[in-house]
Structure 1
Amino acid sequence: MATLTTTTTTTAATATPTRARLKGVVFDMDGTLTVPVIDFAAMYKAVLGDDEYRRIKAENPSGIDILHHIENWSPEKQQKAYETIADYERRGLDRLQIMPGAAELCGFLDAKKIRRGLITRNVKEAVDLFHQRFGLTFGPALSREFRPYKPDPGPLLHICSAWEVLPNEVMMIGDSLKDDVACGKRAGAFTCLLDETGRYDSPDYANVDLKPDFKVSSLTEVYSLLEEHFDLAP
């Protein structure tokens, strides 16, 4: 069930919940706008090795940030790691599928004149293929080439600046606590976690620092969430 803690405005007669104004929605791509096709566990093991993978996973309940982890490696080791990651991503492009409900949700946002942006840790080639294959265009659409990347709030703040809106007028939707929710919360935006399988209901994630304002199991749940909690007037 989607939940949100809101402030209230009190009058002499009654207390009325404040409906936040929403002017833009920023999406993650892999696992949010597109069906998950990359085996991230296998990719992390290929980059880190089995023992290091298990150690880092145990220390990071929200998930492994592989891009930040390899930033301090030697240039040679780092290059090999990037080549391994790119190989997994390339194979994923061949199986790229749009997430059920994504096109319809974009149509809903367009009808409400709510802007749509995209932030992904994948490469620009993947973003361009997504735009071309499914006929949906997001702007700005920031790929891994934009630095800093998620979970740093920089990409989301960049989009807010480009749109000339405040972060608290924007929602970040993604399937990752460590990347998408962290990016959104650090920027001061609303956040919605897409958790199709209920994996984030596990006790492993009970004590993470940054929790989403909302959690949904499919993009089709986002319609009612937005209409119930936000002012969608153009």
Structure 2
Amino acid sequence: MPLCTSSSLQPHNLMLNSHLQPLTRALFRSKLTTMSNQSTSSSIKSRIRGVVFDMDGTLTVPVIDFPAMYKAILGKDQYFSIIASSPSGIDILHYIEQMTPDNQQKAYQVIADFEKLGMDQLQIMPGAQDLCSFLNSRNIRRGIITRNVKSAVDFFHERFGMSFSPALSREFRPYKPDPAPLLHICSTWGVEPNEVIMIGDSLKDDVACGKRAGAVTCLLDETGRYDSPKYADVEHKPDYKVSSLAQFHSLLESNFDLTP
């Protein structure tokens, strides 16, 4: 996400010749001025006027067994072949679009079955309600971009009494990681993409979507799995990484000018 060293001086090093003292003082004053200017510059916070959330695994506790779902759709051999060549993960909707209509229908039914199971077990992510209350208190807009279906988004709103607008599901085309849904939200809000921060738990979907749109990005990585060396060379890297929504809450307060 987005040192100083100290060393002890020997006594004889403190005995500067008189003709070196003016130069030393001048250099010292120059260094202080540079440090002061850097400090003043770094204290200027970027303005954030809206927060866009992923839903599954970000606002809600992850319950869908994605590897099992992908294997059911692709078959084990193709699943492991894709995983080996794609460190960021599988864009399953992309692969489904390349299938025959009959196979597409079967694949979408597999997804629907897994998502139904996920809805039955739906839980709010720790820290989500406090975070939304905080954003409300600052009049900061909040939206959702998810690759889940609209019925799941509606169910989320109803169960937890939380409101996100716009809340774009996979019925909105093109879906993330294309930047179109995030740019649509920015246009709806009347804000610039760099005044929005996108947070989600996926490099390939959430971070890529945010980066392509020109937004600030934050990766939610609860378990530290993205610390693995295999993610070192991915195309899109987040501006920030947190392990919880509570940490993201602190990040917003400390690092940004939250002005609606």
Instruction: For residues 142-196 of structure 1, give each alpha carbon's deviation from its aligned partner in whole angstroms, at most 9, with x where no partner exists.
Output: 0011000010000000000000000000000000000000000000000010000
| Residue 90 of structure 1 pairs with residue 113 of structure 2 | no
How much has 1:224 moved relative to structure 2? 1.7
Q: Quick one: distance in 2 between partners of 1:185 and 1:106?
A: 23
SS class of match (1:136): coil
Whichever residue aligns with residue 210 of structure 1, its letter is H
Whichever residue aligns with residue 108 of structure 1, its letter is F
Whichever residue aligns with residue 164 of structure 2, its letter is F
SS class of match (1:31): coil
Q: Quick one: distance in 2 between partners of 1:176 and 1:12?
A: 37
| Residue 215 of structure 1 pairs with residue 241 of structure 2 | yes
2:161 corresponds in structure 1 to 135
SS class of match (2:144): strand
| Residue 49 of structure 1 pairs with residue 68 of structure 2 | no
| Residue 171 of structure 1 pairs with residue 197 of structure 2 | yes
| Residue 118 of structure 1 pairs with residue 171 of structure 2 | no
Q: How do 1:1-234 residues align onto structure 2 when only pairs under 5 Å count?
A: 3-4=1-2, 14-15=37-38, 16-17=41-42, 18-234=44-260
How much has 1:11 moved relative to structure 2? 9.0
How much has 1:233 moved relative to structure 2? 3.1
Q: Quick one: distance in 2 between partners of 1:12 and 1:204?
A: 37
Unaligned runs of 5+ in 2: 3-32
Moved more, 69-78 or 138-147: 69-78
Q: Quick one: distance in 2 between partners of 1:63 and 1:73?
A: 19
Instruction: Give the structure-2-normalised TM-score.
Output: 0.85
Task: Work out the percentage of aligned pairs sharing the same amino acid.
Answer: 70
Q: Quick one: distance in 2 between partners of 1:12 and 1:201?
A: 32
How much has 1:55 moved relative to structure 2? 0.3
Q: Quick one: distance in 2 between partners of 1:40 and 1:56?
A: 14
Q: After the TM superposition, which segments of 4 or more aligned residues of structure 1 sit over 3 Å from their partners?
A: 10-13
| Pairs aligned (count) | 227
> What value does the CA root-mean-square deviation take over the aligned residues?
1.4
Instruction: For residues 66-92 of structure 1, give each alpha carbon's deviation from its aligned partner in whole angstroms, at most 9, with x where no partner exists.
Output: 001110111011111111111111111
Q: Quick one: distance in 2 between partners of 1:13 and 1:184?
A: 33
SS class of match (2:152): helix
Q: Which has the higher helix share?
A: 2
Moved more, 13-22 or 47-56: 13-22
Unaligned runs of 5+ in 1: 5-9
SS class of match (1:14): helix
